[in-house]
Amino acid sequence: MDVFKSNVDVLSKLLPPHLLAPRVGIVCGSGLSTLATCMRGIVEIPYNDLEGFVHSTVPGHKSSLAFGLIGEGEGVPVVAMLGRFHPYEGHVLSSVVYPIRLMAHLGVKDIIITNAAGSLRPSIPVGTIVVIQDHIALPLLTGLNPLLGPPFSPKHARFVPLSDAYSRPLRLAAFRAAHALGLERDALAEGTYTWVSGPTYETPAEGRFLRNAGGDVVGMSTVPEVVAARDEGMNVLVLSLVTNLVVIPDGYRSVREEVEAEIAGQSIVRAPTPTVSHEEVLSVGKQKADVMKSLVAEIIGRLPRA
Ligand SMILES: O=P(O)(O)O[C@H]1O[C@H](CO)[C@@H](O)[C@H]1O
């Protein structure tokens, strides 16, 4: 298609032939750009050199595509997005998912999408890698969907089912890879990703709402990429790294009680409500980057070679 032609021309000039048709795609989440260092013979191409690519403005996201090989022998050709685009940056959804469509055009069949996420459950602590089995996406349900408008091409479907969006074989591969690497059982969990538009982090009531709705983790990305990848017929694996616990106190602590205690000459000392920051998110990403990297490399090394 025309929207890919100039990029295919650029890539053909810059890449050796064995990297031109990647089989696997990776999207690196916040603070996880070093995932791509599990590839060998890396060629990195800045988004600025590619048409249709916007710029990633979020700290912890680089702005380039990296091509390389993973696995023994000839290796599997892989392309990784070092830095993704989020709707909250002001990017339209067609731009957010354009790199995913380019990956499909180049030949990617399996895509591993990673992200940093907040946990909605104390049973899923910071540092856990959650293998996503489903999602709840309020923005999709209420009209922020990358498939709004005419189908991407006459070959693309009008209606795309998402009941099987998260590939069972790839989820199995993730747990087998974790076992092979000797990771502790608790290092990995399974769960449902809830997508919010951001860039605000959740209020306690919103956190409770998402948890009660069945969510396990929450983040501001990934789902548009999953939708586009499914529209392209790719097999999708999503790995969420829990970087923080979403603040969900059991209930609101009454300020009336505090004032009444004050009037009665007593005092109630209360700790301030904790907040989350992107610095905290990036710091956990940094600490866990090596485990994520080994896991991704092990999963890719185990995929059937085409
Ligand atoms: O989902 P990724 O891009 O990994 O980043 C997550 O971290 C940022 C918030 O700290 C948000 O962008 C959220 O979506």
Clarify whether 193 is annotated catalytic.
Answer: no
Q: What is the pLDDT of residue 189?
A: 98
Is the Cβ atom of 84 under 6 angstroms away from ligand 1? yes
Clarify whether 220 is annotated catalytic.
Answer: yes
Q: What is the pLDDT of residue 1?
A: 59
Q: Which of ligand 1's atoms lies nearest the C-alpha of 282?
A: 10
Is the Cβ atom of 33 under 6 angstroms away from ligand 1? no
* Run of H or E residues at 243: strand 235-245
Of 123, 120, 112, 118, nearest to 242 by C-alpha is 118
The arithmetic mean of pLDDT across residues 262-275, rounded, is 84
Rounded distance between C-alpha atoms, residue 102 and residue 119, angstroms: 31
DSSP string, 11-22: HHHHS-GGGSS-
pTM above the 0.80 mark? yes
Q: Quick one: pLDDT band at residue 247, thresholds 50, 70, 90?
A: confident
Is the Cβ atom of 281 under 6 angstroms away from ligand 1? yes
Is residue 293 pLDDT above 70, yes or no? yes
DSSP H helices, the chain, are 2-14, 93-106, 138-141, 168-180, 204-212, 223-231, 255-263, 278-302
CB-facing half-sphere around the CA of 71: CA atoms within 13 A: 17
Question: Is residue 212 in some structural domain?
Answer: yes
Q: Is 239 helix (H, G, I), strand (E, B) or coil?
A: strand
User: Would you give the DSSP letter of residue 89?
Assistant: G
Rounded distance between C-alpha atoms, residue 174 and residue 168, angstroms: 10
pLDDT digits (tens, 9 = 90+) for 175-222: 999 999 999 999 999 999 999 999 999 999 999 999 999 999 999 999
**Catalytic hit among 7, 167, 221, 235:** 221
* Run of H or E residues at 45: strand 40-46
Distance 220 CA to ligand 1 centre (A): 6
Q: What are phi and psi of 68, to 5 degrees?
A: -175, -170
The arithmetic mean of pLDDT across residues 29-35, rounded, is 89
CB count in 10 Å sphere of residue 113: 26
**Catalytic hit among 7, 56, 63, 89:** 89
* Residue 91 belongs to domain with CATH number: 3.40.50.1580
Clarify whether 221 is annotated catalytic.
Answer: yes
Q: Quick one: pLDDT band at residue 248, thresholds 50, 70, 90?
A: confident
Identify the domain containing residue 179 by its residue range.
2-301
Question: Is residue 306 in some structural domain?
Answer: no
pLDDT digits (tens, 9 = 90+) for 91-141: 999 999 999 999 999 999 999 999 999 999 999 999 999 999 999 999 999
Bridge pairing between strands 76-82 and 110-119: unpaired
Distance 208 CA to ligand 1 centre (A): 20
3-state helix, strand, coil in the chain (%, to 5): 35, 20, 40
Clarify whether 156 is annotated catalytic.
Answer: no
Question: Is residue 296 in some structural domain?
Answer: yes
CB burial class (10 A; 0-12, 13-18, 19+) of residue 129? Answer: buried
Q: Which ipTM did the prediction report? A: 0.99
Is residue 2 pLDDT above 90, yes or no? no
Number of domains composing the chain: 1
pLDDT digits (tens, 9 = 90+) for 42-100: 999 999 999 999 988 888 778 999 999 998 888 999 999 999 999 999 999 999 999 99
Clarify whether 91 is annotated catalytic.
Answer: no
**Catalytic hit among 39, 56, 61, 91:** 61
Q: How far is CA 18 from CA 21, 62, 98, 104, 139, in A?
A: 7, 24, 23, 17, 39
